[in-house]
Structure formats: structure tokens, C-alpha cells
Structure 1
């Protein structure tokens, strides 16, 4: 008879651990509850797996970033290395859940399931979504079919790949989806359905070196184009402390003609530039963007601006070929 799954829950704060003054108040304070507090309202989890938990942070995820994710990744790696641990669930705020999932995907190499979840409503809401999301995340993590799939996000009954997860709504409980790849599966209480055989998405664990030290990742800025924008803030910026730039362009990566010479000048000066799009479902290919792809100018493919900035920073830190790195994001979904 197989042994009971053992799942470790690492808490970082977020809305799922948030409290409001009343059940109908939209304003709340994130990161107020511990993992133990979250588990108190889900007693049936004991029927899914043996649970242990730790509180790593108690933060609103707007205050999370690479420094926190480096520590989070090292903590997950340590827990996953234990022979008796089936997998790790991370509770995280949804403001930066996309970037957190991508960072963990890019830096962790374990075949054990790593599942992130959160909520769009605080724990004190009339109908909080956190308990169901956490229950489903543990259920997915404990599934015999979850191994070897890389980092996943479980929200609103869907199992989403970290490389392609995106937040599409500011407040709705179905805020998260997967683009351009489809969800990995769906989860219902008592049943976990994966749509395909186990396979890791591209670049899984490719930047594990970022966990070997606490050196800050190279600074990368994001600049959004807008009709009639003078771009004065971009043109007057001091680039001595920055290594890269992501342009959130129009459509498929178009940039106003007046800005093109300045962007090319930055590239000539050694600033690596990734062109993404301000459109929700990003498609920027070398043949669709205004600029010409080259050593210091790269199309983001399907990554949005903030995920592009994180991947660019990691690629620069590891001194990897940026164009080849972004090309690999389309190798698998």
C-alpha cells in the first residue's frame, strides 16, 4: 500500500492570509494569518495528505521581489530534497504571483510538484476563495500524476503552467489563466485531471545559479508606449545603473518612429532591449516588431512586459544569450 503523501506548505502572506474590518469591506490588510490559521478552516485536508507548514514571510506581494523569491526558492529546494516530502505548496499574494511562479520555474530543478496558490478575496470575505484554492493546491501536489511537471499554479479549479500563467483581472476570482498554452488540467474536490502526460515546460531550472548567492539581479526597466507620449522619462534616464530595458509596445511590438533611433542608440551602447506588448495576450515576433532583432534587441515572443523583465534580468545575470533564451520560451507549453 503506498504511503500517505506528505505536503509542505510555505506561507508568504498575500490576500489569502488577509483580514478586513468586515466581511463586506473591499479594503483589507494582506498577510495577517499564519499557515496554521489557514489550515484551521480546512480540516478535510487531513484526508488528502499529511501536512506540515512554515511561515516564511507575511507580506503583501506588492512588496515581494527577487530577493524574497531567492530565499523562497532555496527554502522550497531544501524541503523538496527530503525523501519523505511529496511536494511543496506556496501561498502567495496574487499581485506578483505571475513573476513568483516564473522565478521558481526558472530556478528550481526538482521533479517533485511545486504548486503556488493564493486568493482574490481575503479570508474574512463573505465567500473567500482561499480555502478552496489551498485545498485544491494540496490535492494537486499530492497527486501521483503531478511529478515532473515543473512549477504549477492552482487557482479557481485550474492547473496552470508557471511559464504561461497570467493574471487577467484585478478582482474576479477567475483572474488567472494560461496564455498562449492551455491549462495543464483541472481540479475538483477529490479528483485531479491532467490533460496530458507529464512534461516540463521550457527553461525549467535553467537559472538555478541565481540561488547560489544573494547578489541582486541586474536592474531592468519597463517602458510603456502611449499615443502622444514624449518618452522624455526614458530619454533622460541614467543608464549607468541599469542593464536592460523592456519596451511594452503597441500591438505586435510596434514603436513610434520618433523613438526608434533612441532605442537603437541604447542598444548600440550595450543596453539589452526586449520588445513586448501592452496587449493582454502578447505575441511579439522578430518579423512583427518595428525594431530589427539583433544581439541587443530581442522579441519577447509570448511573455508580457513584467515577465519579460524578470527573464531578461536572469539571463543577463547568467550571461546567457538573451535572444536564444527568449526563443526557447516558445519551445514548449
Structure 2
């Protein structure tokens, strides 16, 4: 009997010690919050052989976390379901709600980093928006997947593990908002979805910032443009975003879309030109007219891998009082224009902002 009581006491003591050690061990881990918004990374399909046929935004964040128990080896992780939508349905209001929640969390002493799970269709827009308006040097990592979790060779779990690993890392501080996909760490400012059926879909024309290999970050370059803590924009001071629309240039293009957007209240129009942001002679008169009415005209390019628009090349931007988008693609130019217009209506100031961000 004494032997049994002794064994029982030893078992209780061991359990208590293990619990204390576990608590102490967990306290040493960084605290990472996963904000879930839906998308393919939360998608599910009926057939494991189908990687492109599925329903997005089906799996809640608690199940995503529960399905990846190795996260506990990297950080103390908790999740919040901010939205549960496919990212093509993201609006300016979604951006503002998400941005404000990210900012709130990063102010907390018990939050060391934030991960945002996101659909890939507009992931690059959200990442760039956060890069512009979040005033913190703590890591913010946006992540998605190209295949739902039900597909063979699904990429979401490794992408999420890498995202948490980066968000929990001291060496990720001060590098702006990041995107971890396919083992690469890209700047939210540069990266774009280049193809829709491969796991290596997200690329930067200027190359990744680094890689994540077996839980270790390897860095190769730093972002050169202004971001986060050095940005003049602050999510806490932005309540609405002005309407900015994108019109696509092509052979035989007309001015119909430009006039329609302006008629619906667009404060700026991103012209998605061919090559160096070229503008058809059929469209130039309408754009000059709209600019005289106060609509900002911003020339960008639909060249996928690094459309670089030079000022006063192709068009006399100084004469027409137009702005060029520098190397930003049309969708990122829309984000920057909307954010910038919350502070200025001056085209020269807008051009400065496009050079700096």
C-alpha cells in the first residue's frame, strides 16, 4: 500500500514538474497571432486529385492551427477569424478593418508578430496596403496557398508554418510587411501573383528578400522603399479610402471605361498601358479632359514581370500633369493612389509618393 502511495505521489510530482516546465518553455516562445480572412489556404475540395476545383474560405482558423501542431515548437499561437471570404471579394472596407486590427495587436506587449492568412487573388494588394499604413517594426507576414488543404501536395501547411516562423523571428523586424510562399520571403511591396496554377506563383521582379529552409530564415537583400514605421501614412488616421479605378490599355482601345469611372466618382484612374505605360492617341484627349476636371491620371504598365514606367517617356507627363506609377503594377498603384489621396490632391506630391513608396 505504501509502495502504491509513493508511486502516486511521484506521478503527481512528475506531472506538476512537467506542467511547470511546459509553462516556462512556452513563456520563452514568441507570441504570434494568426488573423484569418479566408481564401484557398482555408479551402476544401471533394477530390484530392483536383488542386484548382474547390471552395475557398471553408476551414476556420482554429482548425488550420490544430492541423499544424508543430507550430507550438516555433511560437505560442492563437487565431482570430476576421473574415471568411474569397479574396477577389475584398473591398476597401475589408482592408481598413484588417489594417486597424493588425495595428491594435501590434501595440500589445504580448504580441510579437502577426500572420494574415489570405486568398491569393488580392493577397499582394493587402500586403502592400499593410506595408504602407502599419506603424510597427514587428513582423507582419501575409500568407496563402495555391492548393486547398484537401489536395494532394497541398502547400498551405508549409506556407503557414514558414509564415509563423518568420513572424516569430527577431531577424524579421523592421523589414516591412512580408509574404511567405513556396519557401521564399518576399516584400509585400514588390511581390505579385504571376501565374494561377503553380505553387511558385508569387514572384518579385527584383527577387525575394530571403528564403525559409527547415525553419531557418536566410536573408539576401533589404527593401529600399519607405514602409511601415517610416511611412507617412497611418491606418489609425484613415477612415475611408477614395475611389480609384483601373482601366486597361490594348489595341483598339476606346475612352469608354475612363469616362465611366470618372462619371461614377473615381478620384484617380490607373491607366494600365502597354509597354512603358503607353497611351493610345484615341484615349489621350479624354485623359487630358478628365485631368482638367480634377481626376488624377496615373500611368502604369500591364507588363507582368516589372513594367517600369518612365516619366515623360511615351507621354509628356509634365505637360499633361499626369503621374507615373514607377515600377508598381496597376493593382498596387491603385492601393498607393488611394492611400496617398487621403493626404494630398496635388499631382506633384503624388509623384513624390510614387517615387518613395
TM over 0.5: yes
Counterpart of 1:84 in structure 2 is 110
Contact kept? 1:315, 1:321, Cα under 8 Å: no
The 2-side partners of 1:17 and 1:107 are apart by 26
Whether 1:286 and 2:311 are equivalent positions in the alignment is yes
Aligned to 1:267: 291
Aligned residue pair count:
329
- Worse-matched range after superposition: 149-158 or 261-270: 261-270
Taking the aligned partners of 1:110 and 1:5, their CA distance within structure 2 comes to 16
The structure where helix makes up a greater share of residues is: 2
Q: Indicate which of 105, 121, 132 corresponds to 2:131.
A: 105
Q: Which consecutive unaligned segments of at least 5 residues does structure 2 have?
A: 1-24
Residue segments in structure 1 that go unaligned for 5+ positions in a row? none
CA contact (8 A) 1:18 1:29 kept: yes
Matched, 1:256 2:280: yes
After TM superposition, the runs of 4+ consecutive aligned structure 1 residues lying more than 6 A away are: none
Write the distance in 2 (CA, Å) between the matches of 1:321 and 1:237. Answer: 20
Change (3 A) 1:286 1:319: same
Residue 267 (structure 2) aligns with? 243
Cα deviation 1:144-177 (Å, max 9, x = unaligned): 2011111111111111111111110012110101
**What residue number does 1:222 align with?**
246
CA contact (8 A) 1:209 1:318 kept: no
Aligned-partner Cα distance in 2 for 1:240–1:10: 33
- The answer to whether the 8 Å contact 1:67/1:214 transfers is no
The answer to whether 1:14 aligns with 2:39 is yes
What TM-score do the two structures reach when normalised by structure 2?
Answer: 0.86
Q: Hey, what does 1:46 align to over in structure 2? A: 72
State how far apart, in whole Å, the 1-side matches of 2:174 and 2:61 are. Answer: 26
Contact 1:210–1:314 (8 Å) recurs in 2: no
Match of 1:119 in 2: 145
What secondary structure sits across from 2:111 in the alignment? coil
Rounded to whole Å, the distance in 1 between the matches of 2:261 and 2:224 is 39
RMSD between superposed Cα atoms in Å: 2.2
**Residues 253, 282 of structure 2: 8 Å contact kept:** no
Structure 1 or 2, whichever has the larger Rg, is 2
